[in-house]
A and B are shown apart, each in its own frame.
Chain A
Amino acid sequence: MAPLTPYTYIQCPCSDQTVFGPGGAASDPEENDQTFDPKAPRSNYSLYPLEYLLYCEDCQQIRCPRCVTEESVTYYCPNCLFEVPSSNLRSEGNSRCTRSCYQCPVCVGPLQVGAIQPTTDANLLPTQYQTNPSGGPYALFCQYCNWTSTEIGIEFDRPSGIYNQLSKVNNGGQPKLTLRDVKDRRKDNPDEPPVPDDQVDADLQFANLKAFYQQQLSESNTSLRGLPLHDGLGFSSPAALTRIMSLYTGRGHQGRLQQGPADIMREALGTNDGLKIANLDESKDIKKLIDGGWGVTASIEQRSQQPTEPARFEDELRPIAYLLRSKRSKRCPSCRHIISKPEAKVVSTRFKIRLVAKSYIPTITIRPLNPTATPVPITYRPMVQEEEPLKPHQAYHFVVTFKNPLFDNIKVTLASPPKTPGRFSSRVTVLCPQFEVDANTDMWDDALKDDERDRSRKADEGPEVGKIWEKGRNWVSIVLEVIPASLRIDQLEKKGNEKIDTSPLKKGEDLLEIPMFVRMEWESEAQADMDGPPSKDKETREKRELAYWCVLGVGRISHE
């Protein structure tokens, strides 16, 4: 359920450009003329609350998270707030915290390192953290669900550097085999048979495969089969020369006897080449599943959190290292100006530059003229009192307030379709579609202009067509009249020959949302252009305009 209090969303104009026809070609012009349908599935991706939007001063355009380019400022771990230099990130190829920050694989709560109590001390819970100077085996403990890493058979010798320790251990406490281990072993004992397939995990197989392919590529003749490679040598090497020659002589090697390397790389033949026979006999796992039932399996959410291959059983889950986060600065994609730049320090939440749209485009708020919900006392906030659902075929009035953040007067023109798009189209009338909002002048001006307040309407007066409802220093309220449609399927109006969609009510269809096109015009001081000399006439005013679609969420229509 969407937020139930009346709300406003703004459509970023960037989304117009990516309309597709059936052939994948860019939009056909007809599409753009149609009114914006807030319930179309695509509009979910282009609507943003005003707070999410940025504004580029130079292009005078709204910029949404989709139409900015980002640059990372800092990387840090959200758990230990430790800043990770970007060189580390690259060298380790890891976007997770490499210290001791882990999440519980069962409940994603943070894990803590603690010493495992000696078993003789039965009175103490294992989660009780004791600083044991002598050490002893350590484990990870979840404070929330009491999961410990001993459940998957993993214990640590030291309480620090968990990442390194964990990466060397498989579940169950067996050391993880790496390519280096295998090579060392083979060096010591060349006759040893290769590692059995069930001990080859994805990492080892990948390493084996990579080594195998590298070896094959360097041995085989590269001109054939379109498998050229970089050997890291310059043009001076004979190998490169042969390759260049063969480029021009073509592939006519078939008749000739190949001296030297084989023309085709072979396929992997054994475990050391990365070949692994699939394990077809899974009866052990089936037995485990049937004996353990639902409880031993890991849920989809738990699996998807796992950074490695998805685990099937709960005891195959591993602690999840915290994903690093990054602070990002944002640029306008067309003029390359920075529109948002956070401070580099991890703990600081301040921004060096931040051009939020709220200070450039009017804030639009909507509230019912005659609210049915009683106001929430301040001490009870943030409790939200829900408005009653709107009754069909009954006129409702809503007050839409435009607050001007600019230091210039703006002229606002509103347009909204008389009937909302969708199956159940409600009637909408904007009582005053054109008005002017005063500039965001000094606060005290408001207080000084006492007479303004007298002009506001008395409560008993009803809304009037073509007139502003209320007006303040930098804001104007107008009235919107809405007649909600009935949600009954059998009462759907027939439009021409179109077939009526009589499918049952879909989710969200009872939500009354009004698309509204907002166009604002204002005059501001001309910007000093970079290319021309600053104009001597300081009084030059420049006419500006900005237009966008917004969506006013009014409320739910009652099911009658």
Chain B
Amino acid sequence: MSSGTGPALAHRSVASIRSAPILQEQAGSGTTPHTPPRTISNTYGSPATIRADDDFLIIQIGSRFVRAGFAGDNQPKAVLTCGPQDQRRAGDFRDWQPAGDVDLQSGNKDHELWRYDLREVDLGLVYDKLDRLLRDAFGRCLLIDSRPRRAGLVLDSGVPIPILSTVLDLLFKGFQTPMISLMSTASMSVVAAGIRSGLVVDMGWAETVVTSVYEYREVKCTRSVRGGRYLNDRLYELLQKLLTGKEEDDGARVISFAECEDIMCRLMWCRPPASKSPQAHKPAQRQSQQLDTVEEQDESEPEPEHSLQNSVASIPLRSINPPRTVEVSFDKLADVCDDTFFALSVAPTEFDDEDFPVHLLIYRHLLQLPMDVRAICMPRIVFTGGCSNILGIKGRIMEEVTSMVKRKGWANVSGKHVEESRNSQFSDRRASIARSVSSTATASDLGEEQESSRPSSIASQSDISDPIEAKVARHRPQISQMQGEFRTLHTLGPWAGASLVSQLKIPAMATVDRELWLQQGANGATRPNEIDVKAQQRQSMGAGGFIRGSGGHHTNWTLGAWGNV
């Protein structure tokens, strides 16, 4: 094996042409001692393949978009969506003709790549749509040819296996990818925020997904349908009511999906949290009252002192006939946003498991976490996804969650009796909750008390429990971890995270090899816990080419967080 060093260095000098000499571009290729990936004698072996090995593609697939680019870049080169105008036949140039015919019929489904509910999904169609999108991305935006390139696939870990296997099939068969690393969006978002654990709130199109990541592992994942699609539908209802004056839908759309989405992206905003809004200067008693009764409070009620409520946006609509300009007040838009993501006028008992409002979803998620994980996650909340770009929504969510924690603490009981006893025995409460909930978890149940100073002191206290530990700890650089208070971090997004990870050649959670996939398909994947890590490490020493060389060699591979068939 040591004879491999010579060519290795020589090869690297070729490979490092592209960018900084410290880093080689052959990302994700396994453990250190490795034989360089030689030009593999596959069927397409032409001398030019050396170059293709340098590129590592990162592909992120969501339900509305595909992002593609090279590992090491900080943003994808192509972000493509899939609308009905992209699903036409080749040689259909209606898009370029002067507009005259507006597409009113296409709805949510025509704009989506896939859905979680597989009953509504034609996998063949998903294959075709993705195929076209990726070809467009590779050929037009990335300007790469069709030589095989390794790829990293960033996917939500809730993607069903049939969809995953369609995507893998496409990449292996359609694009000849020799090897695919699977990475989950949540952990990649965490990487792109520079942390090891955190709570990722992915406010996407189909769903809002809250995932807690602890030491790069996904611990728990809860979902709610209150996402972009939900918001868009609510907005459409509002516009329809405005335009036709009728409540219910009579089949044909009033304005096109694209226009409705455009309005959503341009004008949607979220009211600032109650405490920070202009009425914050009001007497304190009203504010505390407000906090106590947030559920019953009707947020949609226009507040007279609100300076914003009278503003009106005039939206030029082009998809209705004749085109006209409609005036929508910003207050109404904020109502739509509130109803979608907070639904404060609805009692918490009304919600189904799948449609919790976002703040409740986060709260319940944190509540169900083991308390150490909760303590670690609280100061590391990360928002990603398209809907998190709605102006003011992040601040609002955090404020709602914080106020909820202040009111309820971390006790997983609710109801009238609990409320009563909580109010009456205020002094007892502190003790009982302190007993039931870890002291490190949070201090925020203590109503008005300042919470920022406490957790750090507790964190430092707990470290000095064992004298030997303390001795050991002295040799280590002291890392003070922030625990038990809310803090929101900015992430560069899952794509950038995957790009970082791949460039630093950190092996992905699951790596699928082309030969093995073509032989075994999704059924070949073993359970993640059955896998022999050591064996895999030894395998991956060969850096891709090794495994491929030994064709039918039986190795265990997994689909990681995506489970197995």
Interface positions, chain B 262-289, Cβ under 8 Å from A, are 262, 265-267, 269, 272, 276
Give B178 Cβ to nearest chain A Cβ, in Å: 14
B311 contacts the other chain (Cβ, under 8 Å)? Answer: yes
Residues of B with C-beta under 8 A to A297 = 266-267
A66 contacts the other chain (Cβ, under 8 Å)? Answer: yes
Is A19 in contact with B124, judged by CB distance below 8 angstroms? yes
* CB closest residue in chain B, given A45: B128
Is B24 in contact with A206, judged by CB distance below 8 angstroms? no
Interface positions, chain A 235-288, Cβ under 8 Å from B, are 235-236, 240, 243-244, 247, 250, 257-258, 262, 265-269, 273-283, 285-287
Interface positions, chain A 63-109, Cβ under 8 Å from B, are 65-66, 68-72, 75, 87, 89-91, 93, 95
B422 contacts the other chain (Cβ, under 8 Å)? Answer: no
A303 contacts the other chain (Cβ, under 8 Å)? Answer: yes
Interchain CA distance A9-B534 in the complex, whole Å: 54
Is B194 in contact with A212, judged by CB distance below 8 angstroms? yes
Residues of B with C-beta under 8 A to A507 = 103, 105-106
Is A49 in contact with B313, judged by CB distance below 8 angstroms? no
Give B67 Cβ to nearest chain A Cβ, in Å: 12
Is B9 in contact with A210, judged by CB distance below 8 angstroms? no
Give B63 Cβ to nearest chain A Cβ, in Å: 17
A: number of interface residues (CB 8 Å): 112
A300 contacts the other chain (Cβ, under 8 Å)? Answer: yes
Is B32 in contact with A1, judged by CB distance below 8 angstroms? no
Residues of B with C-beta under 8 A to A22 = 118, 123, 162
Is A228 in contact with B492, judged by CB distance below 8 angstroms? no
Is B18 in contact with A293, judged by CB distance below 8 angstroms? no
Interchain CA distance A262-B477 in the complex, whole Å: 8
Q: Which of A130-138, A323-331, A435-443, A479-487 contacts B (4 or more CB under 8 A)?
A: A323-331
Interchain CA distance A256-B383 in the complex, whole Å: 39
Residue from A18, A202, A228, A299 in contact with B262 in the complex, judged by beta carbons closer than 8 Å: A299
Residue from A1, A48, A279, A291 in contact with B91 in the complex, judged by beta carbons closer than 8 Å: A48
Residues of B with C-beta under 8 A to A244 = 32-33
B146 contacts the other chain (Cβ, under 8 Å)? Answer: yes
A459 contacts the other chain (Cβ, under 8 Å)? Answer: no
B17 contacts the other chain (Cβ, under 8 Å)? Answer: yes
Known: A41-B87, A95-B142. A90 touches B17 (CB 8 A): yes
A214 contacts the other chain (Cβ, under 8 Å)? Answer: yes
Convert A198-237 into 0s and 1s, putting 1 for each residue whose CB lies closer than 8 angstroms to a CB of B: 0000110111111011100100001001111111101110
Interface positions, chain B 251-307, Cβ under 8 Å from A, are 251-252, 258, 261-262, 265-267, 269, 272, 276
Is B479 in contact with A266, judged by CB distance below 8 angstroms? yes
Residues of B with C-beta under 8 A to A286 = 269, 272, 308, 391-392
B504 contacts the other chain (Cβ, under 8 Å)? Answer: yes
Is B313 in contact with A228, judged by CB distance below 8 angstroms? no
Interchain CA distance A300-B139 in the complex, whole Å: 23
Residue from B30, B166, B276, B394 in contact with A24 in the complex, judged by beta carbons closer than 8 Å: B166
Convert A517-555 into 0s and 1s, putting 1 for each residue whose CB lies closer than 8 angstroms to a CB of B: 000000000000000000000000000000000000000
Residues of A with C-beta under 8 A to B139 = 70, 326, 328
Interchain CA distance A2-B90 in the complex, whole Å: 11
Is B32 in contact with A49, judged by CB distance below 8 angstroms? no
Interchain CA distance A504-B537 in the complex, whole Å: 58
Is B251 in contact with A504, judged by CB distance below 8 angstroms? yes
Residues of A with C-beta under 8 A to B74 = 202-203, 206-207
Interchain CA distance A89-B87 in the complex, whole Å: 31
Residue from A70, A87, A234, A312 in contact with B8 in the complex, judged by beta carbons closer than 8 Å: A234
Interchain CA distance A287-B330 in the complex, whole Å: 11
Known: A243-B32, A275-B194. A282 touches B89 (CB 8 A): no
B500 contacts the other chain (Cβ, under 8 Å)? Answer: yes
Residues of B with C-beta under 8 A to A45 = 87, 128-129, 131-132
Is A205 in contact with B490, judged by CB distance below 8 angstroms? yes
Give A19 Cβ to nearest chain B Cβ, in Å: 6
Residues of B with C-beta under 8 A to A388 = none
Is A91 in contact with B266, judged by CB distance below 8 angstroms? no
Is A293 in contact with B19, judged by CB distance below 8 angstroms? no
Is A69 in contact with B146, judged by CB distance below 8 angstroms? yes
B395 contacts the other chain (Cβ, under 8 Å)? Answer: yes
Q: Which of B75-83, B425-433, B544-552 contacts A (4 or more CB under 8 A)?
A: B75-83
Give B386 Cβ to nearest chain A Cβ, in Å: 9
* CB closest residue in chain B, given A19: B124
A289 contacts the other chain (Cβ, under 8 Å)? Answer: yes
Give A386 Cβ to nearest chain B Cβ, in Å: 14
Residues of A with C-beta under 8 A to B261 = 300
Is A1 in contact with B101, judged by CB distance below 8 angstroms? yes
Known: A213-B500, A312-B389. A247 touches B537 (CB 8 A): yes
Convert B422-449 into 0s and 1s, putting 1 for each residue whose CB lies closer than 8 angstroms to a CB of A: 0000000000000000000000000000
Residues of A with C-beta under 8 A to B538 = 247
Is A230 in contact with B489, judged by CB distance below 8 angstroms? no
Residues of A with C-beta under 8 A to B34 = 230
Is A240 in contact with B33, judged by CB distance below 8 angstroms? yes
Is A277 in contact with B391, judged by CB distance below 8 angstroms? no
Residues of A with C-beta under 8 A to B522 = 24
Is B489 in contact with A276, judged by CB distance below 8 angstroms? yes
Interchain CA distance A325-B139 in the complex, whole Å: 9
Is B91 in contact with A42, judged by CB distance below 8 angstroms? no
Is A209 in contact with B192, judged by CB distance below 8 angstroms? yes
A44 contacts the other chain (Cβ, under 8 Å)? Answer: yes
Interface positions, chain B 226-263, Cβ under 8 Å from A, are 251-252, 258, 261-262
B507 contacts the other chain (Cβ, under 8 Å)? Answer: yes
Known: A41-B87, A289-B269. A202 touches B75 (CB 8 A): yes
Interchain CA distance A44-B84 in the complex, whole Å: 11
Convert B509-544 into 0s and 1s, putting 1 for each residue whose CB lies closer than 8 angstroms to a CB of A: 000000000000110000000000110011000000
Residues of B with C-beta under 8 A to A307 = 75, 77
Residues of B with C-beta under 8 A to A203 = 74
B220 contacts the other chain (Cβ, under 8 Å)? Answer: no
Is A41 in contact with B122, judged by CB distance below 8 angstroms? yes
Interchain CA distance A309-B75 in the complex, whole Å: 8
Chosen A-B contacts, 12 in total, with CB atoms closer than 8 Å, are: A23-B162, A49-B91, A65-B135, A69-B176, A95-B142, A202-B492, A217-B506, A230-B24, A234-B9, A235-B33, A300-B262, A506-B105
What 9 A-B pairs are tightest by C-beta distance, nearest first?
A268-B194, A206-B74, A280-B395, A45-B128, A297-B266, A234-B5, A24-B165, A278-B488, A276-B490
* A contacts, CB < 8 Å to B: 1-3, 9, 18-20, 22-25, 41-42, 44-49, 51-52, 65-66, 68-72, 75, 87, 89-91, 93, 95, 197, 202-203, 205-210, 212-214, 217, 222, 225-232, 234-236, 240, 243-244, 247, 250, 257-258, 262, 265-269, 273-283, 285-287, 289-291, 293-294, 297-300, 303-304, 307-310, 312, 323-326, 328, 336, 504, 506-507
